[in-house]
Amino acid sequence: MLQKIPKILLVFIALTFVLNIVQSATTELLLDEAYYWYYAQNLAWGYFDHPPMVAWMTWLGSAIFPGELGVRFLSCILYSLNLVFLWQLINHPKKETYTLHFCVLVLAVTLMHAYGFLSLPDTYLLFFVTLFLLAYKHFIKKNTLLNSMLLGLLMAAMMYSKYHGVLVIIFVLFSNTQLIFNKYAWFSVAIALICYVPHLIWMFNHNFISLGYHLSDRPNSPYNFVNFTLGYILNLMALFGLIFPLVYYALLKTKIKELFTKALVYLTYGFIIFFFISSFNRKVQAQWLVAICIPLLLISFNYLMDHPKHRRWIFGLGLANIAILLFLRVWLVTGSVLPIPFETHFNKKWVSFIQKHVGNMPVVFDNSYGNAAIYAFYTGNKSYSLNNTQYRLNQYSIDNSEEAVQHRRILYVSRYLNKGDLQFIGAKGEEYRAKYMDDFESYRKLQCIIPEKSISLKDSAAVILKVYNPYLEDIDLKKLRFGVSFLNRYKRVTEITFIDVKPENPSVLQLKQEDTTYFKINIPKPKTEGTAYLRMGISENGLYLGYNGKNIMLE
């Protein structure tokens, strides 16, 4: 049963809901939010970068309201519900006495502000982490089919929100290893897997492209203590702003007396340790840690109720942090209170500039899924992200968006052009140039396949290259140039070399539709030291070399 909610908390929830609604309607979209809106234009069981929950929620909100408010409406609703369920997770007998402290504590958490209205995968992960913990709390009190079914559904919901949801499940399991012998727990796992089958089928049909990108293909940088490990520690602080010492002190002082508290502690330490280890390999983004906000809020509130001095410090520093965060929320809307450009400030400006010159003409953006999505959102016109070897694959690489701009007069926007017909400054101060193309034609879905998993390039290497043409048309080889991108061990391009290719059958002049053509190629030895991988690409009609092959390890 839901516990009675104090009036002060109801007022707080109502006020924050109104604040989030106003903020949603008056703040321009983040590039990522526009990208997820683009997801929502074609609902599916999966997308290149993330599971589909963010698309589903964005679609639902956009069906209710237009514009930015529609994109973010479900985020505002779920944030308010999240506060209700957080309150239900607290069983302390004094909790109603300190309702105001609870409100201050929640509002002082940095990312709870952001995910109170922004429509991002982490927004929905936060909500379902809270519900999962509430379901788990009931489950450990009473093992029933209904409780285990609910637990399984919420495990699936977390995984549909973001892949990090699996860490929540694992660390809660570590806190209660007896679950391994619990038939109701296994029933929960079965329910979660059954619910997750559609996404697994989507992954299988797309060659597990999402996992491949996140686990191996994502570019990295050399280890840097300041950017990686110190940056990770600063992110842990930034999650809670001025109250961070008090929050982590409460974690250290918390004594585990029952299974639910143990789950909260294990979940928090699990994330902290996991991403601390990860920080020695790559830069850890602050949002990857967002799931610990929920257990730490519960731990902190339970601790402050029993410790008056801690309670006073939380209240005072919390109010100061709230003032800072509210100031930053004003900055997100106007951009005028701080001289720092941000992507929520000037997108409408550059979008309007382009549309004024091109009308309804499609616009192709080089290496920017965010700009392509923002342009489509604010204009309703066709756009496309043309990804090349210097960038990465994304949703535009696997959907049908390329078809909408083929053989049409388009405006091509790029940072690689030395001159163009138009020039403008992007939301973050980047300089772009653009030129008109009368008959745009790209073939970014051509697949370059080298069967070998690794290649030795002591001098040069002769290999067989298979090129699969998935298009429903033959492609003249005269339109294509083949190139090799050499990458360092961090999978960043260091050198590009164009090469001559010869079909095994000399009479072949075209890539036949939905067919594979075999070529003999000679890959030259790279000039750059430290080269660890190569990747094949194709330049069509003079465009920048594409991202058409997989990374092949060099021996």
* 336 inside domain: no
The mean pLDDT of 440-452, rounded to a whole number, is: 95
**Residues 354 and 460 placed together within one structural domain of the fold:** no
pLDDT of residue 68 exceeding 80? yes
The mean pLDDT of 338-363, rounded to a whole number, is: 92
With bands split at pLDDT 50, 70 and 90, how would you rate the model's confidence at 4? confident
**Residues 301 and 175 placed together within one structural domain of the fold:** yes
Which of 391, 410, 437 is where one domain is finished?
437
Cα gap 517→315, rounded to integer Å: 69
pLDDT of residue 340 exceeding 90? no
**Model pLDDT, residue 2:** 60
* 378 inside domain: yes
Exposed e or buried b for every residue in 455-486, given b needs 16+ CB within 10 A? Answer: eeeeeebeeebebbbebeeebebeebbbbbbb
Q: What is the pLDDT of residues 257-296, one digit of tens each?
A: 999 999 999 999 999 999 999 999 999 999 999 999 999 9
User: CA torsion sign, 39 to 43 to 44 to 46?
Assistant: positive
Do 48 and 395 form a contact (C-beta atoms < 8 A)?
Answer: yes
Cα gap 318→175, rounded to integer Å: 30
The mean pLDDT of 366-382, rounded to a whole number, is: 96
**Residues 166 and 265 placed together within one structural domain of the fold:** yes
* 549 inside domain: yes
**Residues 285 and 418 placed together within one structural domain of the fold:** no
Tell how many helices (H) and how many strands (E) occur in the chain.
19, 16
pLDDT of residue 506 exceeding 60? yes
pTM: 0.94
Do 35 and 369 form a contact (C-beta atoms < 8 A)?
Answer: yes
* 338 inside domain: no
The mean pLDDT of 361-390, rounded to a whole number, is: 96
The three-point CA angle 123-128-134 to 5° equals: 140
The mean pLDDT of 235-251, rounded to a whole number, is: 96
**Residues 432 and 458 placed together within one structural domain of the fold:** no
Residue of 444, 438, 446 lying closest to 465 (CA atoms):
446
**Residues 431 and 453 placed together within one structural domain of the fold:** no
pLDDT of residue 27 exceeding 80? yes
- Alpha helix positions (H), 143-282: 145-161, 165-174, 183-205, 209-212, 231-238, 244-253, 259-278
- Give Cα 275 distance to the centre of its chain: 16
With bands split at pLDDT 50, 70 and 90, how would you rate the model's confidence at 511? very high
Q: Which domain holds residue 383?
A: 347-437
**Residues 430 and 461 placed together within one structural domain of the fold:** no
With bands split at pLDDT 50, 70 and 90, how would you rate the model's confidence at 327? very high
* 115 inside domain: yes
**Residues 322 and 380 placed together within one structural domain of the fold:** no
With bands split at pLDDT 50, 70 and 90, how would you rate the model's confidence at 337? confident
What proportion of the chain, given as a percentage, has pLDDT over 90?
Answer: 89
**Residues 189 and 295 placed together within one structural domain of the fold:** yes
* 1 inside domain: no
The mean pLDDT of 364-388, rounded to a whole number, is: 96
Which of 278, 298, 330 is where one domain is finished?
330
**Residues 413 and 453 placed together within one structural domain of the fold:** no
**Residues 326 and 384 placed together within one structural domain of the fold:** no
Residue 3 or residue 132, greater confidence: 132
pLDDT of residue 1 exceeding 50? no
Cα gap 544→547, rounded to integer Å: 10
The mean pLDDT of 177-191, rounded to a whole number, is: 96
Q: Alpha carbon of 501 to those of 105, 388, 425, 553, 554: distances in Å? A: 64, 20, 39, 21, 20
Which of 277, 301, 330 is where one domain is finished?
330
* 2 inside domain: no
What proportion of the chain, given as a percentage, has pLDDT over 70?
Answer: 99
Please state at what angle helix 121-141 crosses helix 183-205, rounded to 10 degrees: 160
**Model pLDDT, residue 49:** 94
The mean pLDDT of 120-138, rounded to a whole number, is: 97
**Model pLDDT, residue 345:** 87
Query: 113-127, 210-224, 239-253: which range is least confident on average?
Result: 210-224
Q: What is the CATH number of the domain that holds 516?
A: 2.60.40
For 425, the enclosing helix (H) or strand (E) is strand 422-425
**Residues 120 and 73 placed together within one structural domain of the fold:** yes
Domain count, the chain: 3
* 342 inside domain: no
